[in-house]
Structure 1
Amino acid sequence: MRNYRTLILVVLSLVIFLNGQAGAESKVHIVYLGEKQHNDPKFVTQSHHQMLWSLLGSKEDAHSSMVHSYIHGFSSFAAKLTNSQAKKIADLPEVVHVTPDSFYELATTRTWEYLGLSPANPNFFLNDTNMGVWPESEVFIDNGIGPVPSHWKGGCESGEMFNVSHCNKKLIGAKDRSGHGTHVSIIAGGSYVPNISYKGLAGGTVRRGAPRARIEMYKACWYLDNRDTMTCSSSDLLKAMDEAMHDETAVRDGIAIGGFYAVLKGITVVCSGGNSGPAVQTVTNTAPWILTVAATTLDRSFPSLITLGNNQVILVIVILGLDV
């Protein structure tokens, strides 16, 4: 009888132990190490794997845990860790801080839906480009722009419905196929396009912030299984910025950290303000080293007279607004 009870106790103990292990969920964490200590990117990546290896106990676990290794502008990596593992690695003297991966939603208004250009409607002109960078647009023309600088190390990467021939002296590289990337990039650095209007109203020239600037697109936002809208994670945004620093030769926000080191490399960082409202203080990307594009409204209105069935005349004023 004693052996029978002992057996039951052992089995129950194993069940409790296994259930405890199953409850330790791994999530992506960003381990920030500050300035990189070596100029050799391979050595920096090896040091990241070595740190994970020491924590997890094997090379195989370290490689399967690693998501991104940031090696060009700063030293950091993103890895799948449990909360307890994240706390252990955060206590190491060489680690500045460890933060869980966070997610950002795209900051544009419902522009594509308003124009009837949604994924649910397959018969629109952006469908063939898979809602991606649309190099055929006139805002990417390279008239008057000189040759691509010789120090540029980036380039176009062929992908779904996109090939290297789509790039030019304006769009000098592309690693992105999100319509949002097109939207923000042309606001900051698109070319001048004359004779543009909204259905014949407000005709004029499209003017952008830096029409002579060159544009390189990096894929950082994705449709996740559990989200209906395209989402951008801090870990992916940091990777895109790290790649940008390579190509161009104490805040815990992913965009701010990546932007800070990009600015140290002489790269101008422009982000949208968000302005989610209507509450106050909803502007995002406010780090002082980032140029934040604020929301605005047009300085024009379009009055129209409407005559009702009883011959009463009503003056309707339409004001077009832009939200960046």
Structure 2
Amino acid sequence: MRPDLRDPRLIMLVLAILSLIAALVALKITIRRPSFDLLAVVDITGSMNVRDYAASGLPVSRLDAVKAALRAMLVEAPCTSHLSLGIFSERKTFLLFEPIDVCVDFAPLEASIEALDWRMAWEGDSRVSAGLFGAIDLARQLKSDLLFFTDGQEAPPLPARGAPTFEGRAGEVRGLVVGVGGYELSPIPKFDDRGREIGFLGVDDVPHESRFGLPPEGAERREGYNARNAPFGAAVAVGVEHLSSVREDYLRSLAEKTGLAYAHLEDGKRLWSDYAAVASARSREGAFDLRPFFGSAAALFIFFAAAGPWLARALVRLRQAVLINSQPRPGRSK
């Protein structure tokens, strides 16, 4: 008995076989596409442990929020883009690895981001401005854009003269200063020497004023002031440095000074859109794999070949039901 070449199921099976063959032998084609090179530097100092973000209804730390946003951002980035990762602590930016492909090396990138931890910090101080200036210099060497994640809290606080001068060329590196944290003051978790959380920092655990350089205006009115021996006065300054919120005004001023843009951290998609608005797109050749498309087509053809008779019967029953319901009922006038 000769097969009916017009049988839809036979046609679907033939197309499925052809698609499977194409999926096995299809070669990758090379196309040019826009891509991005970026250096992500993450502040891992103590205030980044503040839990003023939420995920699945539970509070999460600023550092965990940064990690989640970075992982989500990798999904949004086009293939052939490259990411390098660094951390900031004390006054230095340390490069963990140079740029690698966000698609080919997605798994190690994701694992490296997940492994970021505040225990990697080598000092407790947080000279945000110095860290940002170092990160800009590093991004310039890597020929990459910059994402610098920080809450902006300097520890100890800035001296009276303010932040140090930026000696680079504003706008030479593009990218974002990303402000991390809520706008309300929150307690900073405190840890013992073994890294176990034991509460929150108290008012006496941190300095509330920098005593480097010249004293602030009005210092001469402080108790115990002596121009030579006690230019800051005798009393210890008390403030709110044991609490933390995103220092947005300060971060905006740093961004303006360095020629970067500013964005507040919300989520990965928002982070990607904020970055893409100021990024340096590069046209780069990349491999485009056709096999997933042929494989998906084969699966669809097999589905329609198997479900074809059932779908046909369902369509016939549906058509009959529509025709029956459209007929006038007995006893009802037209």
TM class by smaller structure? under 0.3
Structure with greater helix percent: 2
Q: Which has the higher contact order (CA 8 A, sep 6+)?
A: 2
Give the structure with higher Rg (CA).
Answer: 2
Q: TM-score under structure 2 normalisation?
A: 0.21
Q: TM-score under structure 1 normalisation?
A: 0.22
